Structure formats: C-alpha cells, structure tokens
Amino acid sequence: MAPSRKNESSIAKAKAGKANKRAVDPSTAAPTSTRAQTTRKELKPPKSGCWPCQGQHWLRDGPTATDEVRARAAEKMKEVKERAKVKTVQTAPQPGEVLVNKLLALPYCADSGSDLTIIPRTVVDDLVALGNKVDVFPLPHPVEATVAGGSTVTCQDDVTVDIVLQTAVGTVHLREVKCLIMEGSETDFLLGNDTLVSLGIDANQQLEQLAGGDIPEDSDPFEADDRSDVDLSAAEVHGKLVEVGVAADNGFDPAYIAFLHDTVMEYEDIFRIDIGADPPAEIEPLRIKLVDDAKPFRARARRYAPAQRKFLREYAKRLEQLGLIRQNNRSHWACAAVPVAKPKSPGVFRMTIDYRPVNAMTVPIAGSAQDVVDSAEEAEETYGFADFDMPKGFWQFPLHPDSQEIMSFVTTDTVYTPNRVAQGATDSATHFQNEMQRVHAKQLYKNLLVWIDDILVYAKDAPTFIEALKQFFDTCRAHRLKLSVSKSCLFQKEIRWCGRIFSGAGIRHDPARIEALQSLPFPMTATDLQQFVCAAGWMRDTIVDFARIMRPLHDKLEAVLRVCGRTKKMAAGTKLTWTTAEEGDFTAAKQLLSSSQLLHFPKPTAIVAVFSDASELGWGLVITQVECWVPDLPADQQQHQLLICKSGVFDETERRWSIIEKEAYPIIWAARNLGYLLIRPTGFRLFCDHKNLIYVFSPSHEVKRHVRGKLQRWSLSLTGLDYSIEHIDGPANVWADLLSR
C-alpha cells in the first residue's frame, strides 16, 4: 500500500537530508563547530566503503588518499548527487518517466538491444526505504548486461514491479514486469525488448519488414471520426485518482483500501478531466422523428453582446476541434444559439440552443424514469455510496446521421451541425435515461441508481462495494462511457445525490438547503415568492401538514399571477406588499421547513401503518412502518419509522363535500397513488375514525344517494389490497407524537 502524503513528505525530506550529508567532501569542507565535527566522527562508515580503496572508512580517513584523489572523489560525489535528483516520490509520471510501484518516478530509456528490462539497484533500495514491499530473488546464474555507452554490468538478482509509462500518446500501465537488478551508479530505467514487444513494439520484426520491402497495410477498426487525441491530462487524472486514500478517512474498511485503490487505478482510462476527442459512446444513436407535415426551420442569426460573440466563437471552435460539430452553412435547419450567463459569474457563459421550433415538430419517444426515492429501497442499511458524474454527458452520445442536420444551430456567422446529442431537444433527456438504464440493467436497482448523467453505486459491505464498482467500470469501458474525475466521489457513508442526502438509514433533505431557505428575506417580487413556494414544495413528502401551512402563500401568489401574468419577466417586475398576517404566514412556512423528517427505506417484513385525517379545508396522510409490532401496545406508542407524508387543500367544489366524503378522500387517494408502499406481504393497518370508515365500505340508507354512489365508486380502489381497519382517536394529535420519536 502506498504511504500517505504526509509520510511521503517526511520520507522525501529525510532522503534529501541524507543525500546532502553524503554529498559533502570532508577533505574540503570548512569546520563549522566542534559539535558538528563530533557528530560526523560518530557516523558509521558508508556501506559501499571508501571509493578509492573500498575500505570500511570515510574518504578523509583513507591512509593512501592524496589531495588529488579526494578532489576527484568530490567531483564524483557531486555528479551522483545531481543524478539522485531525477528520482522523485510522485503519484504520476511526467513525459519520458516511468512510475515504479505507483510511488517512485524516474527517467526511462527504451532499449530494444537489451533482451530484458533492467532496474537500478538504487531504485530498489529507495522503494524499500519508502516502505514499499519489494521481493528480491537471486538469479541462478549472474547475468551480464550491456548498458548505454558500451559498459557491462553484472546482475545477480531480479525483482517484479508494476510500472506506469508516460508516453507521447498517453499513459500505459504494465503489471508484474520482471526486471534484472543492475548494480552500480546507473540511474536510468531500461525498458528491454521483452517489455517493448508486450507493448507491440518489435524492432526486429520491423527490420525484417524493411529488409523484405513488403510492409502490410494497417487496418483501422474505427471510422475516420474516431479521434485518438483525447483531451485530458493523464498526470492530472492519475493524481486525482490517487486521492482514493480519502476513502479511508470517510470510513472505508482499511483492510480493503488497497483493493479499492487497485480497482480504481485499473480503470484509469475511463476517467476524464473534461470531454475530449474520444469516439462516441457505443450506444444506440438518437434518431428524431418529425411529424408528417414538418417543414425545415432556419432561424436568423441573433445579435449578441461582444462578450457573448467571443464566447460562442471560442466554444464552437473547441467543439469543432474535438470533432463534435462541423460547419454546415448549407443546412436547411438551424436553431438559434443562446449564450446564458452563469449565476454569480459575470462574463462567464454556457451555451444553450433554442430548439423550441424543432421540438414543436417532434414526435416524442417513450421512456420511463423511476422516482429516485421509490427506487432506492435496496439501499437500506447499505455500507456506503459512490457518486459518479459524466463530463458533458449528452455530448458523449451519438446522434443518428439522419437527425444531425435537424439539430443544427446558428451562431453569429456560422451554422454548425452536431454529430452528438445536444441538450434541449424533446428526446434528449429521455433517450439518455433510457440508454443509461439499458446498459446498466444488470446492476440497476440492485446496487446502482441512474438519474440522467448522475450515477449512484452502493453495496452492503466493503467486498461487495468493490465488486459493484468493478462491474460498473467494466460497463463504462465496454460502452466507452467517460466519467468525470473531479465531480466523482469514490466513497461516503452518506452522500448528497439528486438534491437529497442518502444514507443506510434513509433519505433526507440537505440541512444546508433547508437553512438557506429559512434565511431568505420576505419576497419583494412575485418571482421571489414563486421560487420559495416551489423550493419548499420539493420537501412536502417529509413534512406533516405542509399543504395547510403553505396555502396562504400559494393563494397570494396565484392572486398576483392572475393580474400580472405568468411569464417570468412580468412576475419579476411585480412588487409585493405584505400585511402583518401575511408576514406571519411566511414566517410560519419557514419554520415548518425545520420539521422535515428522514424518510426510511421500506422493509418487506415491517408492519405498514396508515394514518389519515381531514378538516373543513384540507386533508393529511402519514404512512409509517414498524419493524417489531408489539401486540398489546397502542399504535401511538409503537416505534414508527416515517415512509411518507402527504397533504392537500380542498378546492371550492370539494369544500362542499360532506364530512364523510372528506374523511374518505385521503384513504382513497393513498390507495390510488401509494400502492408501492401499501402492497406488502403482511398488508397494512389503516388507522382512522371507525365510524367514518363504515360509510366508506358499507354506505347506509341514511347517506344521500349521490354521496352513496360516489363512496361506492371510491371503494373500488381498495379492492385487492390487504389491510385491516383499526379505530384511533385524534389521529392529528398522534402524528406529532409519532414524529417526535
């Protein structure tokens, strides 16, 4: 296992200090202090002995060493010191370097004249000094090797190491490379013919072909647009992946951290800093179907600000260089490019394309994306999570040739046609989700979730976690999917994904997000109020009585939008005035957000409990589960785990319903919309006023005919559900007690 960064720094400093001590010539150095001289005398003689006579003493103590000999020795020491600088403790090799055992980088020389690969003895010693486990084995017979310059060295031992080469075309990994250990002062790593042949470099074969005059034609398995000049910094990718050690800090089992490290490094080739000129992903190309009477649309070039024009030219030029788009001024289709300023980043833009004219003529494809909360049931009691993002994910997916011209866009003076999927089209997101679910089908919902280009991997223990990662990486490599090295997280006990925090216990909303919403001032415009209401609405499944508390704000917003209009521009220009009562409503709404609860993962063996209630203005519903139901214990004293909260407000027509209808409505609503929680092997328990439930299931003659017919129709929704009815007083009061647990 590689040492930590702190240990690497300490070792490097120690080695540097040791090298400096060796590089001092005792015959010429001026005395500094008595203490320094005493310390030097106490040092043990060098292991290699005195250079001139090989005796076990320092050069200064040599009985036969003359001043001339000492001077030559000093020059040799200086040369050795300079050569030692080329060996550095690193995490990634530079061009022309080899990284040995993912720890030590030094220059290498490709020597096809040497049959075997050779490593200097000093490098092996340095690896041992750095705490790296290196097994050295003696050779049956000494082997003589000729190095650069014609000198011959004798090798008596060999060693097996892993190496990483930084070549002109990228990073190359080689495992278990057998190397002869070269004695002496040589510092270069020699790549022998055995290693070169394994890389596909056979100098002898090339010479034979040249001598024969018949060089076979090279066959290219890829099409012309499969570019190999991938835009990435291999050293930077490697450096970031080496930070896998942080997984141990996040709670990953130290016994498996080395296996996790090796797994990630094995798939280093699928990671990118940003999108490059890689071939498109091996998935089904997106093919757009237009309505029968569709006519080509070509937008006029829009007028842009100077900063926007500069951005569009530079961005389009980069996409063109990467082979993702091409100039096509003869295209019959062209939608307008719209550079949008990034929030809180003046002068920084992102490119969008106004595909609305094309979308209006597109026949949408079918697709399904399960709710991330509903599909995360298998993440219960998980060991940990890994989160991965795809850099420019849509640009990785191919666009069918028949649809490329349709997706053309126009900038300031040029029309471009993409050969990859662009965001903003009707089918883009649906196609992306469909294909991601298809290629990851073996892992989907078992230990992997996908939401567009965000992937979540999870498992029950460390070994299974590593296997899940390996299977996921295999799929990405097989389909040429690239992952972002900077936006991916390898391991967390709980992780923020799709705006929520996932853990082994369940799913909750981000406390930072809740705090940010609670710190908002009173909305000054209709847009401000709309943003708050929509952001808070995203949390309604975790908050009891949400609809009733938020209703005054919703009514105020609707009243304003009916007057000013529902466009963003009109809403932003409409100022709001607040009465004292309305300010109290807004404060109550912000305080309500702090009551957001953790949603637990449903367990098949748990008892599911449904609590419902209704009032004159609205209704509420809470569904919980109890792992160990105690028969003699009242429902409000059981150990409940929240599954979901639902609530709503009756409209003007519904407010005229009878009390019986209002009480029945949340029960029927749950049966129609929450079947995925209610259908369990043990059924579910329904807690409500038993007298009201009788009217739902057995309407009597005392109920009006039109009400009786409605209740009978509603009751059909309960057909096929396994449940029992239990009476409970004051369910609204029970909820507060349940959630206080």
Q: What is the DSSP string of 112-175?
A: TT-SSEEEEHHHHHHHHHTT----EEEEEEEEEEE-TTS-EEEEEEEEEEEEEEEETTEEEEEE
pLDDT for 432: 94
Same domain flag for 483 and 513: no
- What's residue 709's pLDDT? 72
Q: Are residues 580 and 722 in the same domain?
A: no
Is 258 inside a domain boundary?
no
For 518, residues 6+ apart whose C-beta sits below 8 A from its C-beta are 590, 591, 593, 594
Of 706, 700, 670, 710, the C-alpha closest to 688 is 670
Dihedral of the alpha carbons of 23, 29, 34, 40, in degrees to the nearest 10: 30
Q: How far is CA 739 from CA 468, 545, 615, in A?
A: 35, 12, 20
pLDDT for the residue numbered 118: 87
Same domain, 491 and 513: no
Give yes or no: residues 311 and 366 share one domain.
yes
Question: Domain check: are 22 and 137 in the same one?
Answer: no
In this prediction, the residues of the chain whose per-residue pLDDT falls under 50 are 1-43, 80-88, 90, 202-232, 698-701, 732-733, 736-741
Instruction: Mark whether 319 and 461 lie in a shared domain.
Output: yes
If asked whether residues 551 and 682 sit together in one domain, one would say no
From residue 55, give the alpha-carbon distance in Å to each of 50, 52, 150, 154, 547. Answer: 5, 8, 28, 22, 91
Question: What digits encode the pLDDT tens for the residues 182-214?
Answer: 887 677 788 876 676 656 554 444 434 444 444
Instruction: Report yes or no on 244 lying in a domain.
Output: no
Q: Among 139, 172, 203, which residue terminates a domain?
A: 203
Which residue shows structure tokens 């995203």? 538
Q: What is the Cα–Cα distance from 218 to 626, expressed in whole angstroms?
A: 67
Give domain status of residue 297, yes or no: no
Domain-ending residue, one of 456, 472, 502:
502
Q: What is the b/e burial string over 550-573, where b = at least 16 CB atoms within 10 angstroms of the residue's CB? A: bbbbeebbeebbeebeeeeeebee
Angle of CA points 585, 587, 589, to nearest 5°: 70
Number of domains in the chain: 5
Q: Which CATH number belongs to the domain containing residue 605 in this structure?
A: 3.10.20.370
Sign of the C-alpha dihedral, residues 277, 279, 281, 287?
A: positive
Q: How far apart are CA 623 and CA 730, in angstroms?
A: 16
Report how far residue 51's alpha carbon sits from residue 417's, in angstroms, rounded to the nearest whole number. Answer: 71
Tokens of 359: 């979308």
φ/ψ of 50, rounded to 5, equals: -70, 135
Query: Can you give the pLDDT at residue 103?
Result: 80
**Which runs of E-coded beta strand occur in 478-525?**
483-484, 489-492, 495-497, 500-502, 506-509
User: Which structural domain, as residue segments, surrounds residue 49?
Assistant: 5-30+44-84
Query: What are phi and psi for residue 13, nearest 5 degrees?
Result: -65, -40
Residue at which a domain ends, from 203, 218, 251 = 203
Is residue 238 a part of any domain in this protein? Answer: no
Q: Same structural domain for residues 464 and 577?
A: no
Beta-carbon count within 10 A of 738 CB: 23
Measure CA of the first residue to CA of the last residue in the chain; give whole Å. 45
Q: How far is CA 78 from CA 11, 13, 74, 85, in A?
A: 22, 19, 6, 11
**497 and 578 together in one domain:** no
Structural domain contains residue 217: no
Q: How far is CA 694 from CA 289, 697, 701, 712, 716, in A?
A: 53, 5, 12, 12, 15
CATH number of the domain encompassing residue 167: 2.40.70.10
Rg (CA), the chain: 36
* Assigned domain for 296 exists: no
Residue 609 pairs in a beta bridge with: 624, 685
Other Cβ atoms closer than 10 A to 216: 6
| Same domain membership, residue 640 and residue 585 | no
Contacts of 198 (CB under 8 A, 6+ apart): 174
Asked if 387 and 492 count as a contact pair (C-beta separation under 8 A), the reply is yes
Q: Is residue 255 part of a domain?
A: no
- Taking each helix axis from N to C end, the angle separating 121-129 and 5-22, rounded to the nearest 10 degrees, works out to 130
Give a yes or no: residue 263 inside a domain.
no
Note every long-range contact of 400-403, with CB atoms under 8 Å and residues 24 or more positions apart, other chains counting. Answer: 400/285, 400/286, 400/287, 400/288, 401/285, 402/287, 403/285, 403/286, 403/287, 403/288
**What distance in Å separates the CA atoms of residue 269 and residue 282, rounded to the nearest whole number?**
16
Claim to verify: residue 93 and residue 106 sit in the same structural domain = yes
In angstroms, rounded to a whole number, what is the distance separating the alpha carbons of residues 204 and 212? 12
Please tell me the predicted confidence (pLDDT) of residue 328: 95
User: In this structure, are residues 507 and 598 in contact, taking their beta carbons and an 8 Å threshold?
Assistant: yes
CATH number of the domain enclosing 475:
3.30.70.270
pLDDT of residue 478: 95
CA distance 487 to 273: 9
Q: Pinpoint the alpha helices (H) of 169-328.
A: 193-198, 203-212, 234-242, 246-249, 257-266, 306-321
| Same-domain check for residues 355 and 313 | yes
Distance from C-alpha of 382 to C-alpha of 494, rounded to nearest angstrom: 10
